[in-house]
A and B are shown apart, each in its own frame.
Chain A
Amino acid sequence: MTDSGIIIEGLRKRYGEGDTAVDALRGVNMHVSPGEVIGLIGPSGSGKSTLLKCLGAVTDPTAGRMTLGGEVIYDEGWRIRDLRALRRDKIGFVFQSPYLIPFLDVTDNVALLPMLAGNANAAARGRARELLEALDVAHRDKAMPSQLSGGEQQRVAIARALANHPPVILADEPTAPLDSERALTVIRILNQMARQYHTAIIVVTHDEKIIPTFRRIYHIRDGVTHEEEGEGRELPGTP
């Protein structure tokens, strides 16, 4: 299934020009299949955030080729026109902090995405309900984000990332604020969702607790990726 998921070939990104130019990405190659969760690790300043911004379609790469869910996004300076719609329909985001919308309740935080994509309110809320159930937070559906625990917020954020059935989820340090048990729970959920919804998931992390759980890891150093075997350790509670 290499035609969907994420495929990156020779991706480069240069910030600035002339003497002050910084080559943040200098040849990134990656492929993540649908249903797969991979880890992206690297030291500070290695280019993780830059890569995530290119993948998240908020920063244009300088060169290279990128395909998301079977659609070519960037190809050597060319890019698709509507990045906003691409982000809405093809990419789910999970951040270190959940960044839920504080004035919407749990259901509408998740339902907002299908609504933005033009779905009717009832259909969007039905979809939200289904995901909240899958993530075991349906009982808090009418709560405001500020009334949830950190772990619950993170699960709602994952539900939001999945709301439009995106082929790709980008998770940026999703376990950083969580203790060991909760961190592993989040990873377990991401794996489960990846399988259930055929989503390709990239997890950027420094978190020693979760690194051993990946089957495949991309290590990035000075803007260049290296693929490595992961330990693929069994997750507690996985059926």
Chain B
Amino acid sequence: MISLAGRDILHGWGKFVFTGVGLGLLIGVTLTMAGVYRGMVDDGKALLDNSGADLWVVQRDTLGPYAEASSIADDRYRDLLALPGVRAAANVTYLTMQLKRGAREVRAMVVGIAPQGPGTPGWPAHLVAGRHITRSHYEAVADIATGFQLGDRIRIRRQHYTVVGQTRRMVSSSGDPMVFIPLRDAQQAQFLKDNDAIAQQRRRTSENPAFNRPGVPGLLEAAIDAQSSNPSVNAVLVRLDPGARPDEAREAVRRWEHLTAYTRHEMEEILVGKLIATSARQIGMFLAILAVVSAAIVAFIIYTLTLGKIREIAVLKLIGARDRSIAWMILQQALGLGLIGFTVGKVAATFWAPAFPKYVLLVPEDSLRGALAVALICALASLVAIRAALRVDPAEAIGG
């Protein structure tokens, strides 16, 4: 038996390819939307992987440091070092800001890293160019996605930093590239008060008789010094000994005042389950609408093509073709349309994904799911046309 559907498609291939390409672009958009979601999840995981931590210690009652603001004293890391099973603990600050690059601006996450040197939690693990930060001030390591080159000078608040190294795919949970600077500088930048506020505070402190005592020299200076230094960080990144149980360390931290801790697993829950949950639902909504629109298009096209063949279908029935052969012919055409559409969509998505400003991750799993969904949608969409075809009376071929 010959394939009626195949012959029909070949006979009118222009029509098929044309609608297939249109459908394909729509499927390409759908696959890309899924890729955007995967990219967001992957950004979140990259952030966690790159921080090199097993445990995140943050301000109590917050989901810090990525999903919520968190601020803890910058000397608590010493207490953490004393906990059994803790191999390393390092302060870290995160501050997302607009950086100027020539006439352009880039949105970047400035990460303040503790001065213990490479390998410390929070430090970038791999550089693609240049070297790590060696001086305790005014050096920076920038992700290549920021566009900064080695030797460029970045202005962050009032200071300039020289780019000495470059990383790749070091991004925040929202996909902004990272710029690493020394912790002290970052604390200055993050908790910096402007000149006016400092002057005001100095004035108030020196006018306060409690601090400005004639009999106690140096008290005023000490007080002012304490006020203008910035003893806060956003989190302490903790790395455990191999074999140490993260939940035991977490429970130990949670018994302390002012602090709480999250394991890697919990952090992933926070990032994927909470931080990008709304975006995920947003994308899910898009996917649902795109699926419905695709189905409507396939249904409409196949239905129109079938109506154009009513006479042939009547003749086929008259000369003894089975109902199921005719249904199968229409179903095959719908699936053929889906196949063209999916192929075009997959190629289109692969082609345009790198052009997106944020990471679009096309995973084979999603392609497979997409293919199954397209097949299902096409099958469902062909039902209307099949129904119309099965209702055709073979007597119509004989006419009146």
Contact = CB atoms under 8 A, between A and B. Distances in A.
A172 interface: yes
Contacts of A160: 319
A115 interface: yes
A144 B325 CA distance: 22
Interface in B5-47: 7-8, 10-12
A112 B2 contact: yes
B153 to A, nearest CB: 69
A121 interface: yes
A113 interface: yes
B137 interface: no
Contact of B315 (A96, A101, A144): A101
B396 to A, nearest CB: 9
Given A58-B318, A102-B312, A117-B320, A49 B399 contact: yes
Interface in A72-118: 84-85, 87-89, 93, 95-96, 99, 101-104, 108, 111-113, 115-117
B372 interface: no
Contacts of B398: 49, 52-53, 56, 58, 93, 95, 172
Contacts of A121: 1-2
A95 B2 CA distance: 24
A147 interface: no
Contacts of B1: 115-116, 121
The SS class assigned to the B binding surface is helix
A59 interface: yes
A144 B320 contact: no
A116 B320 contact: yes
A56 B11 contact: no
Contacts of A104: 2, 4, 7
A95 B399 contact: yes
Contacts of A172: 398-399
Nearest to A146: B11
Give the bracket for the number of chain B residues in contact with chain A: 20 to 34
B29 to A, nearest CB: 32
Given A84-B320, A112-B319, A113-B320, A101 B312 contact: yes
B395 A58 contact: yes
Given A56-B398, A103-B10, A93 B318 contact: yes
Contacts of B315: 93, 99, 101
- Residue from the set B4, B312, B316, B394 with the largest chain A CB neighbour count within 10 Å: B394
B317 to A, nearest CB: 8
B322 interface: yes
Nearest to A93: B318
Contacts of A112: 2, 319
A103 B11 CA distance: 5
B340 to A, nearest CB: 17
B264 to A, nearest CB: 60
20 contacts: A49-B398, A49-B399, A49-B400, A53-B398, A56-B398, A58-B318, A58-B394, A84-B317, A85-B320, A87-B320, A93-B397, A101-B4, A102-B11, A103-B10, A103-B11, A108-B2, A112-B2, A113-B320, A116-B319, A116-B321
Given A95-B398, A104-B2, 10 more contacts: A56-B395, A56-B398, A58-B398, A84-B320, A88-B319, A93-B318, A95-B397, A103-B7, A108-B7, A116-B1
Interface of A: 49, 52-53, 56, 58-59, 84-85, 87-89, 93, 95-96, 99, 101-104, 108, 111-113, 115-117, 121, 144, 160, 172
- Please provide the 5 A-B residue pairs with the shortest distance between their CB atoms, ordered closest to farther: A88-B320, A103-B11, A58-B395, A103-B8, A103-B7
